[in-house]
Chain A
Amino acid sequence: MNSFKKNLLKKRYNAERRFQWYGKIAIGLALSFLAVFMFQIFSKGYSAFQKTWIVTEVHYDKELLLIDAESPSKDDLENADYYDVAYKAMTSLDPGLPEEEDRQLIQMVSYKYEAEVKDLLLKNPDYLGKIVPIKLTASDDVDQVHKGNYPRDIPEENRRVNDYQLQIYDMLNERGDILSEFNISFFTSPDSREAELAGIASSFMGTVFSILVCLAFSFPVAVLAAIYLEEFAPKNKFTDFIEVNINNLAAVPSIVFGLLGLGVLLAVFNLPRSTPLVGGITLSLMTLPTIIIAARASLKAVPPSIREAALAMGASNMQTTMHHTVPLSMPGTLSGTIIGLAQALGETAPLILIGMVAFVNTIPGTPVDPAASLPVQIYIWSESAERGFVEKVSACIMVLLAFLILMNLAAQIVRHKFEKKWS
């Protein structure tokens, strides 16, 4: 072997090695994107599951509450004036503060602190006239400072928390009067303009309703359509047309379905705007082709011997299909349905077009109440400027991803547990 050939071989082998490395790098890049992405979301979002409270003392002074009755009833407590009591509870943190500066202290708790003061008394009527400790929801700025997400070293005029508030915060923190607890209200409260009060309950219910409506509309139609196309349809131009149609529909951008929902469901059928009902129907049109394709594939996978056996026993075509083929294909169909629903779950654009971006601060009880959905909630919050919403968005994303992972797992389990292996 002369040196020229040797060199060539070496070159070719080097090229081979390089090429392998390109492939490895490509896969590594793809995986590291995923890793960076997950890391970002988790590192930003985990703190949203903690809620910061400020502990102070409240004196339920009858005079300040404007309660005259000797032994006040529930109604009296309900209608009492809590403004002064709540105000005193906060300003007592720094009695030396001149009155015109007291806004600074009040701003350290959420604007609903008066309601919190009231709720505590309503729950424990015997606190009346006593001085009791109370925990108040910290404002999102204090919350962010406590979680270390807010830079303290920038100049005061650029900060939403001023030096005085920081000083009070440090004092409270040293005393142990700043509490950090698991944030239950993130899961139980509806959306709010204030980051510290905002929760995902309203959008979560919106998502659940939309998905249920979507399932109710798309599943029956899709399965029936798949049965017809796979088992009964004659091979002709028209059924070909339907097939092409379904394949193309599966690739239509989701926003076009949003336009359809807007132009037909809202404008022509006058269904109520911003509701999970319309959202669910719009999403069902989107998932329809996905489920049809999955159902057809799993009908196709049922071996012909099953059909032949049934037909040989004297069953009609319809009986063969309904009693044997369809039940056997169900695991595949169901897992395809769940995957289709998982896709629909993550859709945002079509829901925005049918108005599910409206600010909703009540938890919807039925599919015809206005609601947002989890992805739309992510969009709404990420458009808000307040710092507190960044962690809320990340936490909301975590909930959404958990939901998606659960659904995909369910699809896998259904497929592997119940599907018959034909071989």
Chain B
Amino acid sequence: MNLILVTFIILLAFTSYYFGRKKALVIQSSQRLTALPKFYGYYLAAWCAAPALIIFALWSVFEPSIVKTFILQDYTDQNLTKNELQLIYTKVKALAAGTYTGNITNFLDESANKYIQLKGIANSAKVAIILAILIFSLSFAYRSVQKNDRMREPVEIFLKWVLFVASLGAVLVTIGIVFSLLFEAIRFFQAVKIFDFIFGTHWYPAKTFVRDGQPDPELMKDAFGAVPLFAGTFFIAFIAMCVAIPIGLLSGIYLSEYAGRGIRKYAKPIIEILAGIPTVVYGFFAALTVGPFVKEIGNAMGLEVSAESALAAGAVMGVMIIPFISSLSDDVMTAVPQNLRDGSYAMGATKSETVKKVIFPAALPGIVGSILLAVSRAVGETMIVVMASGLAANLTMNPLESTSTITAQIVVILIGDQQFGDPKTQSAFALGISLFIVTLLLNVIALSVVKKYREKYE
């Protein structure tokens, strides 16, 4: 139904484009055109499609919730909770669609009939309104075409609006992220005190699971302490940086200061391949090769090593991050003006002394920025940790034991079927918003540092 309507609108818009252009050619025989003939077509087509499609979109967004309120009106006197109402509504919908398999009460049947009736009314109303709008806006547009008004300006203004709305898309995504996270997180913090979440040291959401009814508030208090996850996240990121910073920085220095053009041309893109490999592939590699390898070495040295150690996950993550640091630091060091180098050489410094005492300090802000970006990347990395470092949230600083991270826990909680309204599910969103805030802060700082640095030398 909706598809037919949209296709109809679009087809009508195309027809009106050709119609408008033809009309312009007719006008041309008696008076001077105000714009190229195709703009007459665009003008008609825009007036035809835009209002109708906007109304259609708004209608589609609001119709379900309006129908829902009408249906649930009959249940207001029963003192039901929100979840129960939602359940009833789902049942009604399923019954109306003929896919309901539970037992059918009279009340439910009545509601389903009402639902079908409402849907029918809504559908015919929608078609009627959209047809009316089409007729109205087309006749309006046709009048101005007939009057031979200016045609190009309105079309261009319309296009500009389209462009503007598209650029709002990115903002809309951000708003969507913030709201969807906040909405669930706030409900989570109604059940669990924010203090318990941020400072609690015990993360074990599975134990709050109760088949029916509400979980024990005492249990809730002790199950959602996120400290082990924050610690684990930064610990694994720290291990990753221990691998990535020395290798990445030294490669960056070598590429920018020592390597000939030939090496640079090939080595840089090859190293960058490391960043292009999907993280799930790293995860598999870490779990299957690096983890057992670390364990074997540890056992040979007489240490007790978990097969899913933080070390393995962190090290592999570090390898993944190398190119972020090497390429960015290479770029910032290449951007350091040549006269700084020449000055240093003129004073008799060797190349390495120049790098250490002149170029590195000059490029430091940019390098710090690149490291911060790399940290934010490591903090947000998911699959490596899910696959290579255990899923139990231990509060430990031993790299040979397994730890878990914010991202890994989100996956653990939400994999499989989720039940909205369950504190366990909501806790994932609370974790998500803390992750979002941390990475956002890191990025803002990193970008401002890099920006400041760039201004210095431009």
Q: Interface of A with B (CB < 8 Å)?
A: 12-13, 15-16, 19-20, 22-27, 29-31, 33-34, 37, 40-41, 220-222, 224-225, 227-229, 232-233, 241-242, 245-249, 251-260, 262-264, 267, 270, 285, 288-289, 292, 316-318, 342-343, 345-349, 352-353, 355, 357, 375-376, 378-379, 382-383, 390, 393, 397, 400-401, 404, 408
User: Are A251 and B411 neighbours in the complex by a CB distance under 8 Å?
Assistant: no
User: Are A397 and B163 neighbours in the complex by a CB distance under 8 Å?
Assistant: no
Among B183, B322, B414: residue with most chain A CB under 10 A: B414
User: Are A259 and B429 neighbours in the complex by a CB distance under 8 Å?
Assistant: yes
B:277-317 near A, CB below 8 Å: 277-281, 283-285, 287-289
CB-contact partner of B350 in A12, A233, A259, A378, under 8 A: A12
* Least CB distance, A140 to chain B, in whole angstroms: 17
Between A and B, how many residue pairs show CB distances below 8 Å? 248
Q: Give A326 to B22 CA distance when docked, in angstroms.
A: 28
User: Are B173 and A288 neighbours in the complex by a CB distance under 8 Å?
Assistant: yes
User: Are B382 and A255 neighbours in the complex by a CB distance under 8 Å?
Assistant: yes
The interface residues of chain B lying within 8 Å CB-to-CB of A247 are: 443, 447
User: Are B162 and A263 neighbours in the complex by a CB distance under 8 Å?
Assistant: no
The interface residues of chain A lying within 8 Å CB-to-CB of B162 are: 224
Asked if B435 is at the interface (CB within 8 A of a chain A CB), the reply is yes
CB-contact partner of B420 in A13, A267, A316, under 8 A: A267
Asked if B120 is at the interface (CB within 8 A of a chain A CB), the reply is no
Q: A41-B281, A378-B284, A404-B278 are in contact. List 8 more A-B contacts (CB 8 A).
A: A20-B258, A30-B319, A221-B166, A221-B169, A232-B163, A263-B181, A264-B176, A382-B284
Asked if B440 is at the interface (CB within 8 A of a chain A CB), the reply is yes
The interface residues of chain B lying within 8 Å CB-to-CB of A248 are: 174, 440, 443-444, 447
Nearest B-chain residue to A390, judged by Cβ: B288
The total of chain B residues at the interface (CB under 8 A) is 89
The interface residues of chain B lying within 8 Å CB-to-CB of A400 are: 278, 281
Among B164, B174, B350: residue with most chain A CB under 10 A: B174
Main secondary structure of the interface of A (DSSP, over half): helix
CB-contact partner of B267 in A31, A221, A254, A378, under 8 A: A31
The interface residues of chain B lying within 8 Å CB-to-CB of A346 are: 276-281
Asked if B359 is at the interface (CB within 8 A of a chain A CB), the reply is no
Known: A251-B373, A382-B287. A353 touches B411 (CB 8 A): yes
A/B interface sample: 29 pairs, CB < 8 A: A19-B351, A20-B352, A24-B254, A26-B246, A31-B267, A31-B270, A41-B281, A232-B163, A242-B170, A245-B171, A247-B443, A248-B443, A249-B170, A252-B380, A253-B379, A253-B381, A254-B380, A255-B435, A259-B414, A260-B177, A260-B180, A262-B418, A263-B183, A285-B176, A349-B411, A353-B415, A357-B416, A382-B288, A390-B288
User: Are A348 and B159 neighbours in the complex by a CB distance under 8 Å?
Assistant: no
Q: Give A12 to B349 CA distance when docked, in angstroms.
A: 9
Q: Give A288 to B166 CA distance when docked, in angstroms.
A: 11
The interface residues of chain A lying within 8 Å CB-to-CB of B250 are: 22-23, 25-27
CB-contact partner of A375 in B280, B386, B411, under 8 A: B280
User: Are B180 and A228 neighbours in the complex by a CB distance under 8 Å?
Assistant: no
CB-contact partner of A253 in B380, B386, B387, B429, under 8 A: B380
Known: A26-B254, A316-B156. A19 touches B355 (CB 8 A): yes
B:360-411 near A, CB below 8 Å: 373, 376-377, 379-383, 386-387, 407, 410-411
Asked if B110 is at the interface (CB within 8 A of a chain A CB), the reply is no
Q: Which 3 A-B pairs have the closest CB atoms?
A: A253-B380, A23-B254, A346-B278
The interface residues of chain B lying within 8 Å CB-to-CB of A375 are: 278, 280-281
User: Are B322 and A30 neighbours in the complex by a CB distance under 8 Å?
Assistant: yes
Known: A13-B350, A346-B277. A260 touches B176 (CB 8 A): yes
User: Are B163 and A225 neighbours in the complex by a CB distance under 8 Å?
Assistant: yes
* Least CB distance, B417 to chain A, in whole angstroms: 8
Nearest B-chain residue to A247, judged by Cβ: B447
User: Are B169 and A225 neighbours in the complex by a CB distance under 8 Å?
Assistant: yes
Nearest A-chain residue to B170, judged by Cβ: A246
User: Are A255 and B411 neighbours in the complex by a CB distance under 8 Å?
Assistant: yes
